[in-house]
Amino acid sequence: MRIALLQVTTGPDKSENLANVSVGIRDAAANGATLIVTPEATSQGFDQGRLDTQAEELDGPFASGLRELAAELGVTIVAGMFRPADSVDGLNRVYNTALITGDGVHKGYDKIHTFDVADYTESATVKPGADLVTFVHEGAVVGVATCFDIRYPEQFKNLARLGAEVIVVPTSWADGKNKREQWRTLTVARALDTGVFIVAADQARPGGEAHAGQASGPTGIGHSVVVSPNGQRIVEAGYGPEIVYADIDIAAVAEARASLPLLQHAS
């Protein structure tokens, strides 16, 4: 299976983001990728205005545009977007959704663990999801998680117990002190916890490496990565926009789990 990670910086306009990411998706497909993962907030970057004004259902123009592109290219695309959710205290909340589209699949995963920390409360504008989601690509079961979910190992273990051999993680990881090191550690840890391939596509770091380590808000740090079931970083991006590729052999999942059968133990 050939996977592509599109590390991009998305802006405030949904139609422009669709047009820009479509160019990268076409390039990735032309280079043989069949599973193409873009970051969280691909439809509209964080800190780029109200999310509810451009939120849409899975039959809206952004999701439909990617559906048509996936069908044209014969690929499966996973991309971050936002869907209308509810209203709380006068605020229209959205779901932070990872769209999965291609090969007869068109559905979404709603991020379960919102980024609620000391100085940022994502749940004020984003309603947490509740359901685990998997799909099948080239005979392999693929689970879906989003960004802050990666701090919760049981979600990844439960996806693996549902059969996931690959887990894709669209992300917009905040920069700041030790944040790159945390990201790199967590992606490897979740692979080792579960014996799966972790495929994590992050937003590029605004301003690139020159601003590395400075607090950025939830707008990306780069370092998109594919990690093998034994914890090896197969490929890792830098800070700026780029497309990275990984060719993976799903048989490595069974080998990792046979040597270290962690999932046999109750949660």
Question: Among the residues of the chain, which ranges form H helices?
Answer: 14-30, 61-73, 153-161, 179-194, 251-259
Contacting residues for 77 by C-beta, under 8 A, at least 6 apart: 25, 36, 37, 38, 66, 69, 70, 99, 100, 101, 102
The beta-strand segments (E) located in 65-153 are 76-88, 91-102, 105-110, 116-117, 120-121, 134-137, 140-144
Cα separation, 99 vs 111, in Å, equals: 11
How far apart, in Å, do the first and last CA atoms of the chain sit?
A: 30
SS percent in the chain: helix, strand, coil, step 5: 30, 30, 40
3-state secondary structure of 118: coil
- Looking at the annotation, which residues are catalytic? 40, 111, 147
Closest by CA position to 170, among listed 142, 195, 193, 130: 142
Give the angle subtended at the CA of 9 by the CAs of 5 and 13, to the nearest 5°: 120
